[in-house]
Amino acid sequence: MANLRQLFLQNIAQTSVAPLMLQIERAEGMYLYDPDGKAYLDLIAGIGVSGLGHRHPRVVEAAKAQLDQYLHTLVYGEFVLAPQVRLAELLARHLPDPLDSVYFVNSGTEATEGAMKLAKRHTGRFEIVACKKAYHGSTQGAASLMWPKDFTQAFHPLLPGIRHIEYNCEWCLQQITEQTAAVVVETVQGEWGIRPPAEGYLKKLRQRCSEVGALLILDEIQAGYGRTGSLFAFEQYGIVPDILLLAKGMGGGMPIGAFVASREVMSCLSFDPPLGHITTFGGHPVCCAAALATLETLLESDLIQQVKSKEKLFLELLRHPAIVEVRSAGLWLAVELESFDVVQAVIQYCLRQGLITDWFLFNDRSLRIAPPLIITEAQIRWACGVILEAIEQRIRN
């Protein structure tokens, strides 16, 4: 019998040119463990997922309790399921008006898809504006929003009527017109290597959308749940979107996503045609139970309040002549280095030392740091020490 690594390459569909190939035996808190018991400090939280760390006891307990009650019962939106309803109510309570209607899906890209359909149905328009170097998912609707086109060219034709503008460009907002159904924007652009919005940009964007009757869709799938220093990143910029996209960190390690709008906007999915958006598994009871425990635990803790001081510590420690720039939005940082090769060498060195980092889809010269919010000061110091050592090693060799 071939070993697990050989079988991984043989039977698991491969999309990465250089998979990290780390075999995971178990995970707990800040750490992943390989079969030899070697611990790896997780500095990327499964790409923005495990905000409370891996297998938080309350999340595990809630999922286990739900496993003993019921699993799937019926397709979305028919039965009254307590974990779903309680989660939607808690979310609505912590969102500003009028965001009180939650449609649960299974992933980030599905949240994008649902929101795009909702905007088209609500406005009767089909044009959608998105920002260059944003990432909203890989299914065909969400992939239509992707730019640069090298990622999507092989799959064309995708959706018609997509217009791309530069992020943080105020004069580009004139391209949002009475033809526009929606503008889809990441509150902080993640995969471009952490680009927070410029002063006043999101307010101008909000204003332009309202002027022309286009819906503003904010993608907080990666920013979501505290990472930027507030429960939702948009709270820091004085605006409210028409539709909010969530996933990743929401489930505490279980797969779940959502698009959230007002009841008035969301109601148009229930007529002309009825069942305007259907999902079998969206809002799965076990995922909702885990997501409810995640949100409750986060809200009862002071983890979000600690984000800014932990960010500051990273920024103080990550200083080296070979670091071109560090950009950040809370516990979400991009360390820009000289080249892709340097980033790869640093990632590999860190991995050997027991530290998991990564790069960004649209910025391969930057090292990704997005740890669970539970990271301690001592762990930040250790991780930054390893990264600086990795950079030193690379310079010497």
Residue with tokens 């170097």: 133
Structure tokens at 284: 């799965």
Rule CB under 6 A: choose which of 137, 141, 229, 251 binds ligand PMP: 137
222 vs 230 by CB, closer to ligand PMP: 222
Q: Nearest to residue 127, comparing CAs of 181, 193, 56?
A: 181
How many other C-beta atoms lie within 10 A of the C-beta of residue 270? 12
Under the binding rule (CB under 6 A), the answer on residue 135 touching ligand PMP is yes
Under the binding rule (CB under 6 A), the answer on residue 219 touching ligand PMP is yes
Strand order of the sheet with strand 31-33? Answer: 26-28, 31-33, 39-42, 355-356
Site for ligand PMP in 176-195 (CB under 6 A): 186, 190
Q: DSSP 3-state assignment of 230?
A: coil
The per-residue DSSP string of 184-201 comes to EEESSB-TTT-BPPPTTH
| Residue 182, strand partner residues | 128, 215
286 vs 391 by CB, closer to ligand PMP: 286
Structure tokens at 106: 């299974």
Site for ligand PMP in 262-301 (CB under 6 A): none
Under the binding rule (CB under 6 A), the answer on residue 247 touching ligand PMP is yes
Site mask for ligand PMP (CB under 6 A), range 96-125, x = bound: -----------xxx--x-------------
Judged by CB under 6 A, which stretch of 9-17, 115-123, 219-227, 330-338 contacts ligand PMP? 219-227
Length of the chain: 397
Judged by CB under 6 A, which stretch of 174-182, 217-225, 236-244, 382-390 contacts ligand PMP? 217-225
Judged by CB under 6 A, which stretch of 135-143, 170-178, 198-206, 282-290 contacts ligand PMP? 135-143
Structure tokens at 70: 């019921």
The kind and range of the H/E element at 186 are strand 180-186
Tell me the residue number closest to ligand PMP, measured at CB: 108
| Residue 100, strand partner residues | none
Q: What is the DSSP letter of 277?
A: S
Under the binding rule (CB under 6 A), the answer on residue 330 touching ligand PMP is no
103 vs 135 by CB, closer to ligand PMP: 135
List residues near ligand PMP by CB under 6 A.
Answer: 47, 107-109, 112, 135-137, 186, 190, 219, 221-222, 247
